[in-house]
Structure 1
Amino acid sequence: MEQTSALTRKRVRAAWWFLTPMIITLAMVAGWPLLRTFWFSMTNATLDGSGVAEFIGFDNYFIYEDGEFYGILFDPTWWQAVWNTLYFAIVSVSLETVFGIVVALVLNTKFKGQGLVRAAVLVPWAIPTIVSAKMWGWMLHDQFGIINDFLMTLGLIAAPLAWTADSDLSLNVVIAVDVWKTTPFMALLVLAALQMLPSDCYEAAKIDGIHPVKVFFKVTLPLIMPAVMVAVVFRALDALRVFDLIYVLTPSNEATMSMSVYARQNLVDFQDVGYGSAASTLLFLIVALCTIAYLYVGRKSMNEGN
């Protein structure tokens, strides 16, 4: 017993020795800029560097003056950006998860040309986001875009639509483009999980004559759920930090503005480093809280299922 305990402690020490360089590098690459951003959010620093940045506490977040509250926490544009980001993340990740599972199930079956289809499915994910956003921007153009021309030819619309400029359409169009691009990523992770499943349970279900749909919900889905959770967490992190797709595809207005676009607008366009850093800090806190909440709920549901 003592030898086992000593061996365990030795392995733990060895693990920490291997992890220490990575932890130090992560602290330098991510931790230090994060602390600097939090510090700038407590100052009145500007991008042009005029004057000396002064410590103003939480004034960028909230301040009470002349009988009214000011600051980012009382800015309607900020809360609109939060709503846009959460809506984008929830809808896009949900659709990508469903479509990714469907695509993975199709790719997991054996058929002629399977390798070619798998390679073709990954093409949207391989295209850089800036390139795909610009490509879809041309296709969705209200004057010479192919989407409007195709829909008008079919008689589905009577006049060209401003897909990326209309406030009623733009956010949903961004979600559609994101789903097109990122579904292959979800499908790839789910496909890897499907190929690791044991075949004996499926053979037994086939012998018993159980319907494939029931087999999927009772056997396949619970077994691949850990991989699906990992994929959803990664995609949720990306979706909550979305910037390039919205910035390139749509104009900078409140209808599609995300939290990252809001922070960039204040940092670069308005040259207010303190206010923009406050927005970036809140974005980090929201992403962290959403991730922790999802992991907690997911782990609790999996433990209850087991």
Structure 2
Amino acid sequence: MSFQAPDAAPAAEETRRSRREASTKPQKKTARSARTRSEGRLGWYLAGPAFLVMIAVTIYPILQAVFDSLFALRLTAPDEREFVGISNYSVVLSDGVFWGSLGVTLFITFVTVAVELVIGFGLAMVMHRAIKNLRGLMRTAILVPYGIITVVSAFAWFYAFDINSGGYVNSWFDWLPGIDENLNWFASQGTALFVIIASEIWKTTPFISLLLLSGLAQVPGDMEEAAKVDGASPWQVLWRVILPNMKAAIMVAVLFRALEAFRIFDNVFIMTNGAQGTEVLSLLAYRTSIGRLEIGLGSAISVLLFVCVIIMAVVAIKGFRVDLAGSGGDD
């Protein structure tokens, strides 16, 4: 017994310590849960009014489009409507024009988002690493294209490339292979899509760079320093430290920009009006409803466009697997 006494005291102390830790863990969990609920309520208080206004403004047009898509309805005879159920959807989905427009829309969306993500990340890195005295000037210069109205930007790009309007691009870049003074950029699908995509990239890349810049600000600097001390190369720091910690910001940037690019209308309408195989879904819905006065078919196209946007949003959120609610941490 005399030899067991020295071991009994540490054992008893360890038991008491374990009990104290066990008793404090539920309290921490309860406190964290209470804080989470409090932050959730605060979020709804702040965003709730704007959310309700947005729902009130958008819910009626959506429901009206769904309702009109179930009828054979022409704009010239609004009182002569005939219920046809899903026949309008059958007509749209069986038409090759719809699938061609969908393909063009997806192509523009994929290319613009991919290029903007790369260029926007580069600009965000420049702004993030820039000297403090130059950060304000650089951010202002980068944001200039995004501050221009889309219609104005589209007209500027159109007149720059259109040879019938005195476009100057051919004379400036005739030293490049394949470019001469007689090149008509809007005469073929490939070159027309190039101009449309280039104008989109120039206009909206600053938006991507701003979102990614906010993500860069959340990357812990001590993790970068630790990786460099361990001998990691700049590429390893980028792929192993910076990008994983920016996952939420990248997801938000891709989601917002993809949904906006999928609904492209202004640039295509101004530059080609859908000619040369450049018609997108938004323009097809407009031409069907306003050009052909087929409100029922146009509404069906609009509803299908809305469904595609919802699918893209769900796929993006599920694909990135980012918990935006918990991305801010528990502290």
Partner amino acid, structure 2, of 1:74: S
**Residue 84 (structure 1) aligned with residue 104 (structure 2):** yes
Partners of 2:36 and 2:210 in 1: CA distance: 36
In structure 2, the partner of 1:109 is 129
In structure 1, the partner of 2:69 is 41
Equivalent residue of 1:60, what SS?
helix
Deviations 1:249-274 (A, max 9, x none): 22322611110000000111111100
In structure 1, the partner of 2:271 is 249
Partner amino acid, structure 2, of 1:107: M
In structure 1, the partner of 2:159 is 138
In structure 2, the partner of 1:215 is 237
Aligned partners of 2:274 and 2:280 also within 8 Å: no
**Residue 31 (structure 1) aligned with residue 51 (structure 2):** no
Partners of 2:30 and 2:120 in 1: CA distance: 49
1:265-276 → structure 2 map (5 Å cutoff): 265-276=287-298
In structure 2, the partner of 1:262 is 284
Partners of 2:276 and 2:321 in 1: CA distance: 36
Equivalent residue of 1:169, what SS?
helix
Structure 1 gaps, min length 5: 63-70
Deviation of residue 6 (structure 1)? Answer: 9.3
Partner amino acid, structure 1, of 2:224: Y
Deviation of residue 301 (structure 1)? Answer: 11
Deviations 1:96-137 (A, max 9, x none): 111111111112113363322221111111111101000000
**Which of the numbers 140, 143, 149 marks the counterpart of 1:122?**
143
Aligned partners of 1:80 and 1:254 also within 8 Å: no
Partners of 1:295 and 1:234 in 2: CA distance: 11
Partners of 2:215 and 2:227 in 1: CA distance: 19
**Residue 189 (structure 1) aligned with residue 211 (structure 2):** yes
**Residue 287 (structure 1) aligned with residue 309 (structure 2):** yes
Deviations 1:190-224 (A, max 9, x none): 11221232211122223233211110111001111
Under a length normalisation based on structure 2, what TM-score does the superposition of the two structures give? 0.80
When residues 44 and 231 of structure 1 are mapped into structure 2, their CA distance, relative to the original with a 3 A threshold, is same
Partners of 1:12 and 1:167 in 2: CA distance: 49
In structure 2, the partner of 1:99 is 119
When residues 194 and 57 of structure 1 are mapped into structure 2, their CA distance, relative to the original with a 3 A threshold, is same
**Which of the numbers 53, 60, 72 marks the counterpart of 2:81?**
53
When residues 300 and 198 of structure 1 are mapped into structure 2, their CA distance, relative to the original with a 3 A threshold, is closer
Deviation of residue 9 (structure 1)? Answer: 7.9
Aligned partners of 2:105 and 2:280 also within 8 Å: yes
Equivalent residue of 1:163, what SS?
coil
Equivalent residue of 2:186, what SS?
coil
When residues 162 and 301 of structure 1 are mapped into structure 2, their CA distance, relative to the original with a 3 A threshold, is farther
Deviations 1:8-38 (A, max 9, x none): 8898788767766555433321112111100
Structure 2 gaps, min length 5: 1-28, 325-331
Aligned partners of 2:143 and 2:206 also within 8 Å: yes
**Which of the numbers 226, 246, 259 marks the counterpart of 1:224?**
246
1:151-170 → structure 2 map (5 Å cutoff): 151-152=173-174, 157-170=179-192
Partner amino acid, structure 1, of 2:94: F
Partner amino acid, structure 1, of 2:80: V
Equivalent residue of 2:190, what SS?
coil
Partner amino acid, structure 2, of 1:147: V
